A and B are shown apart, each in its own frame.
Chain A
């Protein structure tokens, strides 16, 4: 059961997903959108292939992953799990990503970052979906509770 606070952060914040190669080298990529099925502890991340080459080269079904997500207030979580499968992004899921992108542009705008710059990160097309089964969640909000398992 993924707590609602975690759900909120992963679906509205910035995310980065990491994996480890067979020869123990770490890699990561940026998520451009996340959907969550809290009941079954499932999380699906959408990433852009061309800017995530190093990561994808070393990701297979069964790979252990670490998903870090944070919102502007610095509330953050780390979800550990493993890849159950990889597939294309559906139209609905694309819409989710569009939504997130718009939200991010608005947020960055408030912070004084113009859309052209924000677009260099957020205007990447999500073209692969990574389905993850989550087994442990840690709080990563900076402070005395960072690293605590939920």
Chain B
């Protein structure tokens, strides 16, 4: 080796050492901070100070949008922060796509070459190909080095330097840029992660606050809603017989079209001569009358456990055995007991109506039959009626129609169930459509004296006379008899 060669080698070594020193200095500056912008700016300024890179920029990958965004620049008139570069477009975009360093030395002449081809294609096909893409940087750029910033092989951004001079960057420039870019990549990644973490903490706090507010609102909402529901169900209750209502609300009865055949005791009742009244009475009076009557009858039906099917004007349909049953015999007995008490009540009502000046005497006719009927929800999907249908129902209705005023007519089936407790007189034979044979009917006269339901009490009233008789209460039999004799003597 001669003197000049040694000298050359020596200066190369000096240069290398200097470069390493500079790289270390810049790297340590970058790593001092977690501020993204500060890191970026420091790098670019240092690049210029130490290595004469006059125009440079840093872009970060926005993963959600899939584009690179400029976060720092140096040496441009317009700082261009926020400008976007699509992956795969231009030197920077291609470097991002392939994750490899790229050095271009004569961009201008290559673009001109491309342009001439483009013009030919346009004139040939008479089409306009895509416009020139607008990229951030020098408009007349010639030399460019762009390097992907990678952390564990994941692209976080691109660092690029450029010049309007041809072929200004060489291999050693490449190396310096490579080293510093890697340093910056790590520092930027750390800063980015730190920022993300801060962001997430903020969002978490916000979410907590929103949840707390939601909870307090929710409690109020629930109580408001409950209040609404209670009001609604109270209104609804008026439209259902209590047993059905309870069944629905307890969930036992499903609200859909569903029927079953069951053994029931069916009760029909109406007021003879009521229809003529409706034509003569004023509506207010009629309503008052009817309401009182139906209310009293309902109370009795409920007391005996009957399911009030419906009121049709003055007519009442009640059945026993669904939704709940106490047994065929018990249901039939309950129905007859209900009917007898209804008759008694009606007599009382007649008295009060007379006092109010209502002279027309209303008499009830009742019919009872026990047998299989189809019961359940009938109707369309939108409107259901919980009711009972079948030949058994028809028979009860026919019995009612054939009954004498203020009398209860029952079928043989019912009679067989209640004859132990109830005194009956054989009555006419009834033929019913759908039944090939006529039905023997019986008229109810009262409870057998050995029946537990038999009551020795008496409470009767007619215009001008009220009688209340309870033998268990009488302390002085003689006195009682004396009272009755007095009435009798005045009547004769």
Residues of A within 8 A of B (CB): 73-74, 112, 141-145
Q: Are B116 and A143 in contact (CB under 8 A)?
A: yes
In the complex, which residues of chain B have a beta carbon less than 8 angstroms from the beta carbon of A144? 120-121, 124
8 residue pairs from A and B, CB less than 8 Å apart: A73-B116, A74-B112, A141-B116, A142-B116, A143-B117, A143-B120, A143-B121, A144-B124
Q: Give Cα A141–Cα B113 distance, bound, in whole angstroms.
A: 10
In the complex, which residues of chain A have a beta carbon less than 8 angstroms from the beta carbon of B113? 74, 142
Q: Are A145 and B116 in contact (CB under 8 A)?
A: no
Q: Give Cα A73–Cα B116 distance, bound, in whole angstroms.
A: 7
In the complex, which residues of chain B have a beta carbon less than 8 angstroms from the beta carbon of A74? 112-113, 116
Q: Are A145 and B166 in contact (CB under 8 A)?
A: no
Q: Give Cα A143–Cα B123 distance, bound, in whole angstroms.
A: 11
Taking the nearest CB of chain B, how far is it from the CB of A128, in angstroms? 32
Q: Give Cα A145–Cα B121 distance, bound, in whole angstroms.
A: 9
Taking the nearest CB of chain A, how far is it from the CB of B107, in angstroms? 14
Taking the nearest CB of chain A, how far is it from the CB of B114, in angstroms? 9
Q: Which residues B161-191 have CB closer than 8 A to chain A? A: 166
Considering only CB atoms, which chain A residue lies closest to B125 in the complex?
A144
In the complex, which residues of chain A have a beta carbon less than 8 angstroms from the beta carbon of B117? 142-143
Considering only CB atoms, which chain A residue lies closest to B165 in the complex?
A112
In the complex, which residues of chain A have a beta carbon less than 8 angstroms from the beta carbon of B112? 74
Taking the nearest CB of chain A, how far is it from the CB of B372, in angstroms? 94
Q: Give Cα A73–Cα B119 distance, bound, in whole angstroms.
A: 11
In the complex, which residues of chain A have a beta carbon less than 8 angstroms from the beta carbon of B166? 112
Q: Give Cα A19–Cα B124 distance, bound, in whole angstroms.
A: 33
Q: Give Cα A58–Cα B474 distance, bound, in whole angstroms.
A: 159
Number of A-B residue pairs having CB atoms within 8 Å of each other in the complex? 21
Q: Give Cα A73–Cα B115 distance, bound, in whole angstroms.
A: 10
Q: Give Cα A23–Cα B342 distance, bound, in whole angstroms.
A: 134
In the complex, which residues of chain A have a beta carbon less than 8 angstroms from the beta carbon of B124? 143-145
In the complex, which residues of chain A have a beta carbon less than 8 angstroms from the beta carbon of B121? 143-144
Taking the nearest CB of chain B, how far is it from the CB of A72, in angstroms? 9
Q: Give Cα A141–Cα B166 distance, bound, in whole angstroms.
A: 25
In the complex, which residues of chain A have a beta carbon less than 8 angstroms from the beta carbon of B116? 73-74, 141-143
Chain A proximity mask over B108-138: 1 for CB below 8 Å, otherwise 0: 0000110011001100100000000000000
Q: Give Cα A6–Cα B171 distance, bound, in whole angstroms.
A: 42
Q: Give Cα A145–Cα B122 distance, bound, in whole angstroms.
A: 12
Taking the nearest CB of chain A, how far is it from the CB of B118, in angstroms? 8
* Additional A-B contacts beyond A142-B120, A143-B117, A145-B120 (9; CB < 8 A): A74-B113, A74-B116, A142-B113, A142-B116, A143-B120, A143-B124, A144-B120, A144-B124, A145-B124
Q: Give Cα A74–Cα B112 distance, bound, in whole angstroms.
A: 9
Q: Give Cα A86–Cα B116 distance, bound, in whole angstroms.
A: 37
Chain A proximity mask over B87-117: 1 for CB below 8 Å, otherwise 0: 0000000000000000000000000110011
Q: Give Cα A145–Cα B181 distance, bound, in whole angstroms.
A: 44
Taking the nearest CB of chain B, how far is it from the CB of A107, in angstroms? 13
Taking the nearest CB of chain A, how far is it from the CB of B126, in angstroms? 12
Q: Give Cα A144–Cα B125 distance, bound, in whole angstroms.
A: 10
Taking the nearest CB of chain B, how far is it from the CB of A110, in angstroms? 13
Q: Give Cα A112–Cα B140 distance, bound, in whole angstroms.
A: 14
Q: Give Cα A129–Cα B124 distance, bound, in whole angstroms.
A: 38
Taking the nearest CB of chain A, how far is it from the CB of B116, in angstroms? 4
In the complex, which residues of chain B have a beta carbon less than 8 angstroms from the beta carbon of A143? 116-117, 120-121, 124
Q: Give Cα A141–Cα B124 distance, bound, in whole angstroms.
A: 13
Considering only CB atoms, which chain A residue lies closest to B115 in the complex?
A74
Taking the nearest CB of chain B, how far is it from the CB of A18, in angstroms? 22
Taking the nearest CB of chain B, how far is it from the CB of A29, in angstroms? 24
Q: Give Cα A145–Cα B119 distance, bound, in whole angstroms.
A: 12
Taking the nearest CB of chain A, how far is it from the CB of B368, in angstroms? 104
Taking the nearest CB of chain B, how far is it from the CB of A111, in angstroms? 8
Considering only CB atoms, which chain A residue lies closest to B117 in the complex?
A143
Taking the nearest CB of chain A, how far is it from the CB of B109, in angstroms? 8
Q: Give Cα A74–Cα B166 distance, bound, in whole angstroms.
A: 20
Chain A proximity mask over B146-169: 1 for CB below 8 Å, otherwise 0: 000000000000000000001000
Taking the nearest CB of chain B, how far is it from the CB of A150, in angstroms? 16
Q: Give Cα A141–Cα B115 distance, bound, in whole angstroms.
A: 12
Taking the nearest CB of chain B, how far is it from the CB of A63, in angstroms? 32
Q: Give Cα A145–Cα B124 distance, bound, in whole angstroms.
A: 9
Q: Give Cα A21–Cα B96 distance, bound, in whole angstroms.
A: 48
Q: Give Cα A73–Cα B120 distance, bound, in whole angstroms.
A: 12
Considering only CB atoms, which chain B residue lies closest to A113 in the complex?
B166
Task: Give me the 10 closest cross-chain CB pairs, A-B, nearest first.
Answer: A143-B120, A143-B117, A74-B116, A142-B117, A144-B124, A144-B121, A144-B120, A74-B113, A73-B116, A143-B121
Q: Which residues B344-401 have CB closer than 8 A to chain A? A: none
